[in-house]
């Protein structure tokens, strides 16, 4: 049948999926295990089929996610609940046999000559597809998690009548057995993986990873939208938008729009192809909107096009825009978005329209060389950096993970992007989202987050090991690569195609991946791998033409706790530090959130338990440590520097202190040699895929921890910092404009809250620079533990930057830090409704009778209610010296408050008397 022969010819027609006049998404989906029905597939896929074993499901959703949502299974993210769910590797597991997704719906009426297409944007792992009792595709061809499928169903759909769509989802080919799949031993080895899953083109971490639990159904299901589209007899195959600054300045931009017009009919089509480019006047951020500050004059371009039956005509439009509104990375300018609308109106046939959003910017990649003395003589390292619209960008950001059950709603995605932008980051990547939903890229576009797209997941293959040829089907892997390029290449946030993270595919797959980028999107930078840790000459000589990479995660610092000065010392050594793309340390959530997923957290104190309050639940949720790799050193530092915990809440507080100082140091160390040695830094990670105690600056509940706010300080465009290895105060300017004159102040305050030393200098800062201003004295025996307060202000006294450090003069012991005299703290709040959000101004004032140290502010719906999240604070975990005042701002979605309740600001973490 003609309608079905096109299905696999359109695999790379990413944008063509959107080439529509109408989009229809079936609702009222039912989920049914095939083992619970003996009916033939054609009956299950027909109208009127009923089963008492069906579950309601809202798409997109994996099978397990749906069964957790309806209470069939407990939430695997909490405690040890995951072990109450059978694993696919077990005999009798419900995930071994396929599952049906089916929906009965009335399809809208269509016009004569229109085509109807069924679109699957993401399934895992194989699918049989049925419409109205007829099979339109089988699991031998509909396979692979990271590509989309499209089918011409014009001959089977019943416009204006009832229809049934049924999709039978099959398990991955090699689900594997977790080895061992548990992480119960404190500071023990990680849980291992169901390594066989690496052979398939599916999500690696579904089989378990050091930072991810084993997903019992391996995320089988439909994890991205399913919908119908209606077009004319012609569609657009992957329209491609590129922008450039052809004159080398920002006065003129060129937009090129390439439109392949595909004729699906049996007659020649002749008609007018029209492209319209205009500005988006108001950008939607889900919980708020933002108006554009400047609009372009709309552009209309036309061309008469003739396309033979079954043929494709490729048309390229170009337009020059004077004084264009340019897209900038976060912190460097605005992110104005434009819209392209393309319409083909063939004579005597229905038209087809395609719409996509883009932005005007030009991104270029560069390598900065740096010579250094190595053990075997002089060597040269290279630091990767980007220019956007001709301006150098110092990359600051990190890596993201999807929810472990792939349950990231559009609201959740936008909230995360907002948290990352508010952090001050400008670059993100993901080794665990090879085919993210459009929501992620749309949010990155709007928030100015430069995105590294990684094709092949790390450690599924490794040169010289048995896994080096994974996955089994390289042609399927390449089909994924090509579809991902076609799907995402119009997003302005996407600045680089990354072959793989940390490893390298086999030669044939590597070269084919590289060639696909050169063919389908040569405008973007190609990064072969993010790190090289093997003998290239003997194992992967095919990589040599693409070296140096200019970025790495190899070597220290890595993923465990280290003292702050260590990060600065490593930068000064130069080796592998120019663009460090992964480093991190444990950073547990706040106590209130720890209680949500560690049910044993408040167990009674046991004097015989030297690791109290930690236990196997903590271990399963991230407190593992083989070879001192993650949590052991962090826990030891808490007990050594801050004393043994007096309660679980006390432990959580001390963990916040340790994480805050550590994450700030990672970024400030990169700052202190910016553009001399360093060109960028990326954290592993920014978020977590489930409730966890390691590697994150905001948690699964979207609550920032203290590390978030101290990293936020370090990522300021204009920043005053203390270099931990030399006690030198440095001024950092990441902007392209000079700063100053401004006033830099450093203040040392002892345990008794007496100022021991104060210095104020009026300074200036050159663009894109660091400058070392002065060195702090050591208070010696006068102050065993002391605070250093750095402030940067304009000449009128308006504060630009504030940064508080806690230091020791001789011995690394902060026992007394939390026992400084607490001051009387007053908190004035002013709440107001702004569209769909609340905004609050908070004024904190500390009395002269003491200090307010490390105060954590939360917002709840009552004095004793639970905190609401996410809340977007200007600052938090704040410290005030006697008599000081600080003003904070926060915003949050109004629908987070129950009807009739009034928001309340609470202050946690009280000092000990």
Lowest mean pLDDT: which of 4-18, 180-194, 774-788?
Answer: 4-18
| pLDDT above 70 coverage of the chain, percent | 97
Distance separating the N- and C-terminal Cα atoms of the chain: 81
DSSP 824: P
Residue 154: pLDDT band with limits 50, 70, 90:
very high
Residues 586-590: what's their mean pLDDT? 97
Residues 295-304: what's their mean pLDDT? 97
With H, G, I as helix, E, B as strand and everything else as coil, classify residue 286.
coil
Q: Do the bridges between strand 134-137 and strand 162-170 make them parallel or antiparallel, or are there none, so unpaired?
A: unpaired
User: pLDDT of 728-786, one tens digit each?
Assistant: 999 999 998 999 899 999 999 999 999 999 999 999 999 999 999 999 998 776 678 89
Closest CA to 547 of 412, 381, 344, 697: 381
Tokens 């202050």 belong to residue: 907
Does residue 494 or residue 909 have the better pLDDT? 494
The pLDDT score that the predictor gives to residue 778 is 80
The pLDDT score that the predictor gives to residue 864 is 80
Closest CA to 55 of 46, 39, 45, 67: 67
The pLDDT score that the predictor gives to residue 11 is 34
Residue 97: pLDDT band with limits 50, 70, 90:
very high
Q: Do the bridges between strand 755-765 and strand 739-750 make them parallel or antiparallel, or are there none, so unpaired?
A: antiparallel
Residue 790: pLDDT band with limits 50, 70, 90:
very high
Strands, sheet with 123-124, edge to edge from the N-terminal-most edge strand? 61-62, 221-222, 123-124
The pLDDT score that the predictor gives to residue 910 is 58
Residue 22: pLDDT band with limits 50, 70, 90:
confident
Lowest mean pLDDT: which of 14-18, 508-512, 513-517, 848-852?
Answer: 14-18
The pLDDT score that the predictor gives to residue 375 is 77
Residues 808-834: what's their mean pLDDT? 90
pLDDT above 80 for 15: no
Residues 253-265: what's their mean pLDDT? 98
CA 664 to chain centre: 20
Does residue 879 or residue 377 have the better pLDDT? 879
Query: Taken in order 137, 138, 139, 141, is the CA torsion positive or negative?
Result: negative
What integer best gives the mean pLDDT of the chain? Answer: 94
The pLDDT score that the predictor gives to residue 96 is 97
* Long-range pairs of 513-517 with CB within 8 A, sequence gap ≥ 24: 513/455, 513/456, 513/478, 513/481, 514/546, 516/478, 516/481, 516/482, 516/485, 517/485
The pLDDT score that the predictor gives to residue 912 is 56
235 close to 80: Cβ distance less than 8 angstroms: no
Strands (E), 107-233: 115-120, 123-124, 126-131, 134-137, 149-152, 162-170, 179-180, 192-193, 207-209, 212-214, 221-222, 226-231
Half-sphere exposure of 540 (CA within 13 A, CB side): 28
pLDDT above 80 for 489: yes
User: pLDDT of 33-73, one tens digit each?
Assistant: 999 999 999 999 999 999 999 999 999 999 999 999 999 99
Whole-structure pTM value = 0.96
Residues 136-147: what's their mean pLDDT? 98
Residues 557-574: what's their mean pLDDT? 95
User: pLDDT of 881-892, one tens digit each?
Assistant: 999 999 999 999
Residue 3: pLDDT band with limits 50, 70, 90:
very low
The pLDDT score that the predictor gives to residue 8 is 32
Lowest mean pLDDT: which of 301-305, 503-507, 870-874, 897-901?
Answer: 897-901
Closest CA to 238 of 86, 398, 17, 416: 17
Residue 137: pLDDT band with limits 50, 70, 90:
very high
Residues 4-27: what's their mean pLDDT? 49
| CA 842/CA 76 separation, integer angstroms | 37
Separation in Å, CA 229 to CA 147, 276, 345: 18, 21, 17
The pLDDT score that the predictor gives to residue 909 is 63
| CA 106/CA 292 separation, integer angstroms | 39
Residues 262-289: what's their mean pLDDT? 97
């Amino acid at each position: 049948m003609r309608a079905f022969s096109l299905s696999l010819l359109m695999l790379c027609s990413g944008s063509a999926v959107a080439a529509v006049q109408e989009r229809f998404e079936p609702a009222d989906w039912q989920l049914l295990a095939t083992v619970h029905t003996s009916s033939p597939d054609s009956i299950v896929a027909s109208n009127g089929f009923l089963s008492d074993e069906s579950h309601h499901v809202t798409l997109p959703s994996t099978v397990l996610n749906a069964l957790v949502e309806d209470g069939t299974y407990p939430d695997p993210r909490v405690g040890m609940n995951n072990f109450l769910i059978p694993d696919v590797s077990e005999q009798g597991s419900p995930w071994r046999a396929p599952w049906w997704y089916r929906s009965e719906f009335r399809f809208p009426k269509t016009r004569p000559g229109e085509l109807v297409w069924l679109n699957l944007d993401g399934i895992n792992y194989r699918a049989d597809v049925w419409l109205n009792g007829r099979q339109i595709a089988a699991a031998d061809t509909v396979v692979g998690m990271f590509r989309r499928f499209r089918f011409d169903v014009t001959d089977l759909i019943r416009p204006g009548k009832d229809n049934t769509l049924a999709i039978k989802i099959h398990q991955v080919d090699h689900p594997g057995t977790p080895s061992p799949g548990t992480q119960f031993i404190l500071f023990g080895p990680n849980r291992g993986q169901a390594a066989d899953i690496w052979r398939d083109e599916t999500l690696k971490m579904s089989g378990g990873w050091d930072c991810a639990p084993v997903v019992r159904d391996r995320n089988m299901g439909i994890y991205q939208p399913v919908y119908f589209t209606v077009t004319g007899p012609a569609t657009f195959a992957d329209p491609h938008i590129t922008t450039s600054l052809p004159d080398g300045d920002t006065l003129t931009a060129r937009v090129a729009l390439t439109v392949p017009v595909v004729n699906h009919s049996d007659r020649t089509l002749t008609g007018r192809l029209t492209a319209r480019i205009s500005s988006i006047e108001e950008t939607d951020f889900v919980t708020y909107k933002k108006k554009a500050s400047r609009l372009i004059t709309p552009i209309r371009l036309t061309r008469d096009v003739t396309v033979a039956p079954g043929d494709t005509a490729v048309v390229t439009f170009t337009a020059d825009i004077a004084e264009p509104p340019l897209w900038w990375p976060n912190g460097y300018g605005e992110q104005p978005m434009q819209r392209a609308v393309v319409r083909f109106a063939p004579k005597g046939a229905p038209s087809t329209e395609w719409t996509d959003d883009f932005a005007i910017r030009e991104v270029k990649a560069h390598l900065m060389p740096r010579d250094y003395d190595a053990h075997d003589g002089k060597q040269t390292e290279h630091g990767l950096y980007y220019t956007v619209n001709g301006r150098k960008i110092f990359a600051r950001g990190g890596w993201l993970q999807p929810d472990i059950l792939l349950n990231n709603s559009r609201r959740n995605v936008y909230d995360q992007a907002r948290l990352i932008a508010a952090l001050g980051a400008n670059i993100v990547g993901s080794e665990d989202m090879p085919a993210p939903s459009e929501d992620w890229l749309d949010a990155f576009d709007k928030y100015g987050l430069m995105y590294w797209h990684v094709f092949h997941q790390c450690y599924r293959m490794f040169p010289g090991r048995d896994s080096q040829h994974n996955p089994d089907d390289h042609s399927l892997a390449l089909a994924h690569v090509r579809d991902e390029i076609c799907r995402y290449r119009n997003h302005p946030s996407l600045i680089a195609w990354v072959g793989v993270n940390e490893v390298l595919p086999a030669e044939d797959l590597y070269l084919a991946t590289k060639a696909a980028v050169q063919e389908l999107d040569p405008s973007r930078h190609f990064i072969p791998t993010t790190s090289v840790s093997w003998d290239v000459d003997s194992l992967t000589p095919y990589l040599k033409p693409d070296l140096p990479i200019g970025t790495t995660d190899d070597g220290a610092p890595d993923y465990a706790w280290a003292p702050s000065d260590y990060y600065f010392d490593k930068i000064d050594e130069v080796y592998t530090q120019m663009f460090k793309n992964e480093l991190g340390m444990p950073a547990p959530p706040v106590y209130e959130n720890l209680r949500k997923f560690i049910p044993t957290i408040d167990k009674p104190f046991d004097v015989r338990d030297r690791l109290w309050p930690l236990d196997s639940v903590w271990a399963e949720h991230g407190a593992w440590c083989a070879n001192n790799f993650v949590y052991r050193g962090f826990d030891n530092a808490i007990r050594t520097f801050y004393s043994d915990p007096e309660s679980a809440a006390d432990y959580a507080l001390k963990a916040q202190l340790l994480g805050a100082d550590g994450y700030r140091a990672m970024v400030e160390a990169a700052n202190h040699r910016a553009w001399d040695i360093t060109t960028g830094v990326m954290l592993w990670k920014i978020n977590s895929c489930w409730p966890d105690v390691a590697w994150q600056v905001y948690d699964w509940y979207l609550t920032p921890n203290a590390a978030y706010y101290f990293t936020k300080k370090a990522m300021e465009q204009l920043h005053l910092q203390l270099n931990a290895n030399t006690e030198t105060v440095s001024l950092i300017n990441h902007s392209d404009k000079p700063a100053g004159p401004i006033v830099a102040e450093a203040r040392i305050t002892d345990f008794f809250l007496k100022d021991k030393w104060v210095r104020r200098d009026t300074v200036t800062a050159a663009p894109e620079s660091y400058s070392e201003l002065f060195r702090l004295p050591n208070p010696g025996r006068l102050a065993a533990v002391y605070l250093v307060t750095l402030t940067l202000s304009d000449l009128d006294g308006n504060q630009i930057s504030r940064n508080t450090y806690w230091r020791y003069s001789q011995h690394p012991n902060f026992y007394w830090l939390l026992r400084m005299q607490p001051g009387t703290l007053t908190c004035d709040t002013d709440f107001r409704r702004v569209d769909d959000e609340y905004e609050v101004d908070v004024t904190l004032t500390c009395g002269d009778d003491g200090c307010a140290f490390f105060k954590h502010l939360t917002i709840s719906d009552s004095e004793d209610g639970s905190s609401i999240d996410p809340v977007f604070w200007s600052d938090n975990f704040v410290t005030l010296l006697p008599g000081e005042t600080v003003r904070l701002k926060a915003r949050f979605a109004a629908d987070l408050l129950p009807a009739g309740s009034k928001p309340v600001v609470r202050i946690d973490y009280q000092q000990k008397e």
